[in-house]
Chains A and B, each alone.
Chain A
């Protein structure tokens, strides 16, 4: 999580307007879902990989590492999509051809869709979405809640890791029953500290005249129409290619 957040804040496209990244990512995601996945999926994967690695300058290793976890989940699930069971006469298990096709197309589609999400995640810090959320009509207080949560996640994650290391050093996870107890104590402790932190934050903010909104200056991110058009062109190109390939072109 730290690595992902690190790339999101330091990549070459960090200062670009979020819409310039959302348009191609969202467009490709829609294409992936709507067009036949076997031809469009690989094109989308290549497109997002190029944009992430070539464009934003995120190492390929980070991109692949992020795809790895969902890929493992998909590969584990694929055989079960492919197989078919019936109870017509007893219990019967077989692998029909259409099952294999369904498994393959679902896996490719999901992988391509995850790559769109990965591109967004690795190039855009979460905070950048806030102005878009505001425009989408989400109440200000809920947005504030999201921002506070984002900040606190990293504080608590740090604490959880430290606590876990301390417990492990004292053989807290040496046996299963101890492991359950240690994990429970860690979580309980974390919650108690979380509430204490919330109270301290509240007092500190109240002392500084907090009225329910944290106003901060944001770096200006001018929207560039040429770049937006380039993103749209990429989506159009991949959509066209994918559609043509699906029809048996050339």
Chain B
């Protein structure tokens, strides 16, 4: 769910950029160090970022008939961890704005916060939690991807509510309004994305054990389990 260029009032756009900036800088610092210590990660990250972009442009089979796209938020967080996702997500979102006019430059900060910061952190936390509780991996992955997606959607609705409070019932009213507007497309989409992520992770565990192990950063929980 991208907020279109110019949709947010200037003050809000600037504020969200300021909120996202520390996350992006911290992530850039970490990625920079990763690339210096292990030069091969640069190509790995580039391939992963390009993959995330292509996946986000992939049309999903949808239940409601509306055109829906994957966000890749959950998958990215599961594979690379949220601290790397902030920078990768920012670059992907900037590419979407500059190559597809999808999203925008002034709203980049708001979009980064919902899609590259909040979503991945929730997805990652859910996955860690489910590993800790020893639930089956598929259930954890499904929940992580679905809840990551729903978080993105709720945060976006919140951002819109903050920017456009309802004249009668204020921010609460407009939050309900925006959540309601997008629910018919976003709820099924989140479920589909969850299912899709399970299929992807299953496939990768089956056939790409080596590659997963080469992704040494965060997902120890997951890579250690990959079958040989």
Q: Are B47 and A142 in contact (CB under 8 A)?
A: no
Query: Of the 9-residue stretches A176-184, A221-229, A232-240, which lies at the interface with chain B?
Result: A176-184
Which chain A residues border B98 with CB–CB below 8 Å?
Answer: 117, 120-121, 126, 129
Query: Which residues on B are within 8 Å of A, measured CB to CB?
Result: 4-7, 9-10, 13, 28, 31-32, 35-36, 39-40, 42-51, 53-55, 57-58, 60-61, 63, 70, 75, 87, 91-92, 95, 97-102, 104-106, 164, 166-169, 173, 176-178, 181, 192, 195-200, 202-204, 207-208, 211, 214
Q: Name 23 A/B residue pairs within 8 A (Cβ), A-sorted.
A: A33-B6, A33-B13, A83-B177, A86-B166, A86-B169, A114-B6, A114-B101, A118-B101, A120-B98, A126-B99, A145-B46, A148-B43, A153-B54, A156-B54, A180-B195, A180-B199, A181-B199, A187-B58, A188-B207, A190-B51, A190-B54, A192-B208, A195-B214
Q: Which of B6, B49, B92 contacts A110 (CB 8 A)?
A: B6
> How long is the Cα–Cα vector from A103 to B100 in the complex, in angstroms?
25
Residue of A nearest to B173 (CB): A85
Q: Are A117 and B199 CB-contacts (below 8 A) given A33-B10, A145-B49, A198-B43?
A: no
Q: Are B44 and A198 in contact (CB under 8 A)?
A: yes
Q: Are A69 and B168 CB-contacts (below 8 A) given A85-B173, A184-B199?
A: no
Interface majority SS on B: helix, strand, loop or mixed?
A: helix
Q: A164-B58, A189-B203, A192-B211 are in contact. List 9 more A-B contacts (CB 8 A).
A: A81-B164, A86-B173, A110-B4, A110-B6, A114-B4, A142-B31, A148-B46, A180-B61, A180-B196
Q: Which of A32, A67, A192 contacts B204 (CB 8 A)?
A: A192
How many pairs of A and B residues are in contact by the CB < 8 Å rule?
A: 234
Q: Which of A77, A96, A117, A202 contacts B101 (CB 8 A)?
A: A117
Q: Are B35 and A141 in contact (CB under 8 A)?
A: yes
Within the complex, the shortest CB–CB distance from A49 to chain B, in Å, comes to 14
Q: Are A84 and B207 in contact (CB under 8 A)?
A: no
Q: Are B102 and A145 in contact (CB under 8 A)?
A: no
Within the complex, the shortest CB–CB distance from B35 to chain A, in Å, comes to 5
> How long is the Cα–Cα vector from A32 to B105 in the complex, in angstroms?
13
Query: Which residues on A are within 8 Å of B, measured CB to CB?
Result: 1, 4-5, 29, 32-34, 66-67, 69-70, 73-74, 77, 80-81, 83-88, 92, 94, 96, 98-99, 102, 106, 109-114, 116-118, 120-121, 126, 129, 139, 141-142, 144-146, 148-153, 155-157, 160, 164, 173, 176, 179-181, 183-192, 194-199, 201-202, 205, 210, 212
Which chain B residues border A149 with CB–CB below 8 Å?
Answer: 46, 49-50, 53, 91-92, 95
Within the complex, the shortest CB–CB distance from B24 to chain A, in Å, comes to 10
> How long is the Cα–Cα vector from A150 to B202 in the complex, in angstroms?
28
**Of B5, B13, B98, B203, which is in contact with the most chain A CB atoms at under 10 Å from its CB?**
B5
